[in-house]
Amino acid sequence: MASTRAIRRRIKSVGGTQQITRAMNLVAASKLQRARQKLESARPFYQETRRVIESLAALSGAESPFLRGRPVRTSGFVVIAADRGLCGGYNVNVCKLAGRLINEKSGESESIVTVGSKSRDYFRRRRKNIVRTFQGISETPFYEDAAEIGHLLTDSFESGEMDEIYLVYTEFKSVVSHVPRAIKLLPVEPDGGGETRPQALMNYEPNPEELLALLIPKYVNTVIYGAMAEASACEQGARMTGMDAATKNSRKLIAALTLEYNRARQGAITQEINEIVGGANAL
């Protein structure tokens, strides 16, 4: 059995860790509240933007480079993860989904844009082709960050460096439910709901091609920003849940160590009594 001094030292160490995890839990809860407010304001806009652009692509019949599919030599992937850990399986789950998608495209070369140091580290260890990394924006994304990423993607698609682009992120369902998702960002695929609905006539000014050339880059920026807002809320929710579980586990560990300490202390007292009695009998 360990000495009482060693057990006291371990109880103190676990207690210090418990204070850290409790503080991190409170910080993550505060950040989650702000992230959810940002997500709730952004989600209706980017979802409706995506629906409108996909419907417009189906109806316009325009000849746009952002709509035309072409033989795929290089697939592009934008993978949104966190800059920090301690958030359970959040980073691993989204990176694994992106990894499976990349492996499915095994006959093609890949170009990966990572958001967050964790996704960068994941694909760097696997020796994948990372063309650009964005760090320090996973927890508090802004539209300007999404616009910078979107500009890189649209330029790469127009120049032929990437023939198709997928966006991989984590969708926020609730504090404890986060679902990794992958969507095709470019070329824009028409709304394929499989339903044949009557469509209203549309007039385009000046023409569908110029309209789509203006709207689709903004659509790309908006969808990326929405995905980053979803991922930010998921990150804070996962971190809050993980730190709460760690705090509860530390309480259980301290209780077990305290019981062990009391047993060791009682055993030491009993041994001292036996030694005193044995010495008295010898005299």
Q: Can you give the CATH number for the domain in which 266 is found?
A: 1.10.287.80
Q: What is the pLDDT of residue 198?
A: 45
Identify whether residues 17 and 137 lie together within a single domain: no
pLDDT, average across residues 248-276: 86
Identify whether residues 161 and 233 lie together within a single domain: yes
Answer yes or no: is 257 within a domain: yes
Q: What is the pLDDT of residue 154?
A: 93
Count of alpha carbons within 13 angstroms of residue 209, beta-carbon side:
4
Answer yes or no: is 153 within a domain: yes
Q: What is the DSSP string of the chain?
A: ---HHHHHHHHHHHHHHHHHHHHHHHHHHHHHHHHHHHHHHHHHHHHHHHHHHHHHHHHH----TTT-----SEEEEEEE--SS--STTHHHHHHHHHHHHHHHTTTSEEEEEEESHHHHHHHHHTT--EEEEE-S-SSS--HHHHHHHHHHHHHHHHHTS-SEEEEEEEEEEETTEEEEEEEEEESPPP---S----------SS-HHHHHHHHHHHHHHHHHHHHHHHHHHHHHHHHHHHHHHHHHHHHHHHHHHHHHHHHHHHHHHHHHHHHHHHHHHH-
The pair of three-digit structure tokens given for residue 168, joined into one six-digit string: 């991989």
pLDDT, average across residues 231-245: 93
Are the C-beta atoms of residues 79 and 42 closer than 8 Å to each other? Answer: no
Answer yes or no: is 43 within a domain: yes
Identify whether residues 17 and 116 lie together within a single domain: no
Average pLDDT over the chain, rounded to whole?
A: 86
* Residue 196 pLDDT grade (very low, low, confident, very high; cuts 50, 70, 90): very low
Answer yes or no: is 283 within a domain: no
C-alpha distance from residue 77 to each of 44, 74, 113, 239 (Å): 24, 10, 6, 25
Q: What is the pLDDT of residue 204?
A: 65
Q: What is the pLDDT of residue 202?
A: 64
Q: Can you give the CATH number for the domain in which 222 is found?
A: 3.40.1380.10
Q: Is the pLDDT of residue 95 over 90?
A: yes
Identify whether residues 48 and 174 lie together within a single domain: yes
Identify whether residues 98 and 235 lie together within a single domain: yes
* Phi then psi dihedrals of residue 15, to 5 deg: -65, -40
Amino acid, res. 35: A
* Residue 201 pLDDT grade (very low, low, confident, very high; cuts 50, 70, 90): low
**Alpha-carbon distance 116 to 137, whole Å?**
7
Identify whether residues 102 and 180 lie together within a single domain: yes
Q: Is the pLDDT of residue 27 over 90?
A: yes
Answer yes or no: is 198 within a domain: no
Q: Is the pLDDT of residue 194 over 60?
A: no
Identify whether residues 261 and 223 lie together within a single domain: no
Q: What is the pLDDT of residue 214?
A: 83
Identify whether residues 56 and 154 lie together within a single domain: yes
Identify whether residues 120 and 252 lie together within a single domain: no
Q: What is the pLDDT of residue 48?
A: 87
- What residues are labeled active site? 87
Q: 8 vs 271, which has greater pLDDT?
A: 8
The pair of three-digit structure tokens given for residue 78, joined into one six-digit string: 């934008």
Answer yes or no: is 46 within a domain: yes
Identify whether residues 126 and 224 lie together within a single domain: yes
Identify whether residues 14 and 43 lie together within a single domain: no
Q: Which of 138, 165, 170 is nearest to 154 (CA)?
A: 165
Amino acid, res. 214: L
Identify whether residues 182 and 89 lie together within a single domain: yes
Answer yes or no: is 30 within a domain: no
**Total-model pTM:** 0.84
Most confident of 104-118, 202-216, 243-257, 268-282: 243-257
124 lies in which domain range? 35-192+208-239
**pLDDT tens-place string over residues 49-88:** 888 887 777 665 667 778 877 888 999 999 999 999 889 8
pLDDT, average across residues 251-262: 91
pLDDT, average across residues 128-132: 93
Answer yes or no: is 91 within a domain: yes
Q: What is the pLDDT of residue 60?
A: 57
Domains held by the chain: number: 2
pLDDT, average across residues 95-101: 94
Query: How long a stretch of residues is the chain?
Result: 283
